[in-house]
Amino acid sequence: SSSLETIENDAFCGCSSLKELPLPSSVRTLGKSAFEHCASMRSITLQKIKNESSSLQTIDDGGFRNCTSLENLPYLPNLQNLGQRAFGGCISLTEVTLGPSVMFAARNAFDGCVSLQTLKCTYREGSILPWAATDVVIEPNTTNIHNSAFAGCIFLRNINLTLLIESIGKSAFWGCESLHKDFQVPDTVKTMGIGAFGRCLSTIKRLDLPFHATQDVYTFMGGGDQAPLDIGNVLIDDTVKEISTGTFDGCSELTELMIPPTVLIIKTNAFGRCSSLEKVTCHDSAATTIESHAFQHCENLRIFNVPEVVMWVLDGDFGKNTSPKTRPPLPEIDQYSFGNCSAQIMETCSRYNVLRQFWVWILEKEKEYINTNTIFFGAGPEKTKSGFLDAKSMFLDTGDLEIVQRVFSTQSNASDDLLFTILKYLQGRDADMRNSTNHLRRRIVSFS
């Protein structure tokens, strides 16, 4: 149909009798796994409507994955995005050309294409190209090769750096071990980032490169990028906000990791099965969320250096080092973030997770206080300024009393500063406390 613009997810998945795909030029998007496991499909032909060229812009994750008989892919002039393993396992593909319109092609878009001899691409500044790229043309007006532009492109043979190129970013050609012997860095290049030619042994021997550019350092840029499995030293760029699920999964040579303060979320299984990972250090000011099983099956991980505020909570210094108006956000570390890692790290995460719940509760109550312009008592065991609480805005409901009871009976050894902060909050709350159990009152009195 000339009006067809989208082929939905799984639309023809597993259609083993489909031998040829006539693709209407009106189609803009192929959904996830739209033609996955169409094992008999040998070719894709463009069905032109009114002599219009193909409108296809996106082939989503696994779009043609494991189409094992597919031998050719037509030139798609408007293609912009190729998803994860879009053509993964297409073992009969031998030659593919991606045009200059492509801005994001997942690194593993052609993973497992064992017969692919030539993958031609065009580089535009900021574009992400597949690891399988063999021949790259640089867009004429390009002046900068961005960080990690071709990192992990172990099959890249032919690329000509034009005289307009002035800078080569961090890890730009890291792992490009197949670069042709005629490859040259023009004199117009004034700056090179760390690891720009890391693991490019033959190139390093031929060219006079600054030492820092030859270091074996991979720079991770985020933005849907994926890390090569054989990285040993990784530098997470300051622009990265999130490390997605599976990004470093199975990176078995990674031994140490530094999390910068800019990383806000580490997703589930982001670092799964990093079997050689021994040490993870978070920047002191990091407010990172580490989701459940983010580091699962990192069996050799023994050291986890947490952000400063996490240590304050664990050591009983959070209330002393902060005040109600200056409390920093508390990082979220799921109690199962480090599943199947060392028992000590798992115990630390579990204890912090419990204590954090209590602190989040009291911080919310403090915020209510401040928002209603009431006077709040300072935290910590030291003598603090007294005042009167606004009974209406500070009313303790049954849920609040349950939390208080959990704090005073927790097996996580709630620290004195947490207990004293809550006690200061509860001063003058006799009426509410009368509704609590005698056991709870005795526990609270014992800490007073």
pLDDT tens readout for residues 166-179: 999 999 999 999 99
Tokens 């928002």 belong to residue: 371
| Average pLDDT for 196-224 | 93
User: What does the DSSP assignment read for 322-352?
Assistant: --TTTPPPPPEE-TTTTTTS-HHHHHHHHHH
CB atoms within 10 A of CB 16: 10
Range with the lowest mean pLDDT among 44-48, 179-183, 380-384, 425-429?
380-384
pLDDT digits (tens, 9 = 90+) for 353-380: 988 988 888 888 777 766 664 444 444 4
Report CA 366 to chain centroid distance, whole Å. 33
Dihedral sign computed on CA atoms, order 251, 255, 259, 260: negative
Q: Give the pLDDT band (50/70/90) at residue 323.
A: confident
User: Residue 270 carries which side chain, given as an amino acid letter?
Assistant: A
Q: Answer yes or no: is pLDDT of 394 > 50.
A: no
pTM over the 0.95 mark: no
CB atoms within 10 A of CB 431: 10
Average pLDDT over all residues of the chain:
87
What's the N-to-C CA distance of the chain in angstroms?
77
Residue predicted with more confidence, 258 or 323: 258
Q: Answer yes or no: is pLDDT of 263 > 50.
A: yes
Map out the domains of the chain as residue ranges. 354-447
User: Is the distance from CB of 26 to CB of 5 less than 8 angstroms?
Assistant: yes
Q: Where are the alpha helices (DSSP H) in 372-415?
A: 398-409
pLDDT digits (tens, 9 = 90+) for 65-88: 999 999 989 999 999 999 999 999
Six-digit token string for 375: 């006077």
- Report the pLDDT value the prediction gives residue 397, as an integer from 0 to 100: 64
